[in-house]
Structure 1
């Protein structure tokens, strides 16, 4: 049985005869393509780059483009839209895999949204000279190491709180998160701290749902209400605000049921070390009964903001008042 080809992240991509860039996260796919082109240019500045659209492909184009030139310059052939590949492209690509051209790197982009070209995908994944770059959307838990790595690439040090603040503010869009990390890294000096991030992105970070949750858990009713109103005024929707409460209080519930600390316990709970430490600190203000009541109130609010009540903003403000008042008691 054939061994599967290596599956790697965008930051690990390296030249290979055939590269499959697979997954729905176009930002990571673009990163992989940029890195691959840069590496090939470093090997030979005379690199010839050609682009094909698999959805508009006509018979014979791949062979024509990939064939050695008169001066044998290396070639990078980038094929987009593999998810809509024509029958002609699939047939030509299958034929090409039987005898890849020396000095040519063939990159095929497929977002995986359909099984179109499955025979070709299977052939690539069993080809000994191929690699697969996995570009799936990142979950919220993956955003923290992503942001940390972005800062590392920029040779900047950052505190866990700074990374958490960046992720809280920009977790909905990985491209926006990457740009935010780059901007704060280039425009500030010294270690990137939470205060640096909150000062630099004051209008964005201070009004996130997670800033509202922080104030509520701390029992600061006035700050929680002000922050909530700022969030709503800047376009925040009640549904994700309640979702942020649900995520935070689920973390508290998970942590309340385990003893001990450290990286191993955090991994078991699917959390970062700093999240575990913060949850343990926040739990000091809760009893089992009050935590249960809070989770029940969040469930009611979730139902309300999703259509059970006419005024979702009133429902989320009521939730903030209830939870912050209990935490302050």
Structure 2
């Protein structure tokens, strides 16, 4: 097989997984199932746009029987193009390994073979062979940083020719950003159910009741020194069943962001690159930093470390612990 062009995939899950290059063999590598499914959709869509009669076959490398790959790749009666999707490479058996290595030496014409590996070193011999041949490798890694999730939301709206403002993106990531498939579904709902520029009010209407969104409203008020609003929002959240743990997590994340930008100079874009944050997060943290001194930040960090342990089992009353943390933080901040 002549070497296929290498993919320029970035681990951050950029645009490339939305537009997978067609090649005789393609590798999807990594644990993020949502990105892998989107990459598969890209391949399927391209092949079926070329020929709607493309035949799809799915195989499981962990349950593979010797000879299956050659059998399904062989030409059919009417010579339709074929797409073969093989999952479970992380638990592949020896039969699949041997057949796959042999297939790479003489791939079938009019066949696209997509190999799906959830990560790790299992099947290193096959992975090395794929790399040596220059097979396109699409990184399917989780989007862990808010900056990556922000880029994801922005891209979802751009692809659908819709606009969403920066505050709305921030609110949406805060509300449903823990799970990428949920974040994608939220984008789809907002695109379908709204018109014009999507605003933070639109996001709040659909997702404002989510635990993450409530937690960040508490954190925003406390870090701005607005104790009454922070406490009333906190007590409402606790009364409606919100667990103290995500509330403390939101406070801790916001305090860490302030600590990162505290006393730093430079443009928002430069600091965002250096700190692994989005430019709007840098701007927000800088605004919040205006309420804080160095000693006050130390106080906030200490009380949050204590509170984190308390809400995770060290205290008999985690509700009291998180209320005390909110009071200490709001009092330490300068209004």
Question: Smaller-chain TM-score range?
Answer: over 0.9
Match of 1:6 in 2: 7
TM-score (norm 2): 0.91
Measured in 1, the distance between the counterparts of 2:254 and 2:24 equals: 46
Which of 88, 108, 111 lines up with 1:104 in the alignment? 111
Deviation per residue, 1:185-235 (Å, 9 max, x gap): 110111011122112323227853212111112222232123223434555
Change (3 A) 1:235 1:171: farther
In the aligned structure 2, how far is the partner of 1:102 from the partner of 1:308? 63
Task: Quote the Cα distance in structure 2 between the aligned partners of 1:233 and 1:83.
Answer: 45
Give the match's secondary structure for 2:95: helix
C-alpha displacement at 1:139, in angstroms? 0.7
Alpha-carbon distance, 1:7 to partner:
4.6
Structure 2 match to 1:132: 137
CA distance in 1: counterparts of 2:313 and 2:108, whole angstroms: 59
SS at match of 2:175: helix
Q: C-alpha distance in 2, partners of 1:314/1:267?
A: 38
**8 Å Cα contact 1:5/1:127 also seen in 2:** no
Equivalents in 2 of 1:207, 1:273: separation in Å? 20
Q: Is the 8 A contact 2:165 2:199 kept in 1?
A: yes
1:101-150 superposed Cα distances (whole Å, 9 cap, x missing partner)? 111000111101x432121111112113x211110111133111111111
**2:207 is the counterpart of 1:201:** yes
CA 1:13–1:303: 2 relative to 1, 3 Å: same
**Taking structure 1 as reference, are residues 230 and 178 closer, same or farther at Cα in structure 2, changes over 3 Å only?**
farther
Structure 2 runs not aligned, ≥5 long: 10-15
1:242-257 equivalences in 2 (<5 Å): 242-257=248-263
In the aligned structure 2, how far is the partner of 1:78 from the partner of 1:283? 51
Within-5 A mapping of 1:1-329: 5-8=6-9, 9-112=16-119, 114-128=120-134, 130-141=135-146, 142-204=148-210, 207-327=213-333
- Give the structure-1-normalised TM-score: 0.93
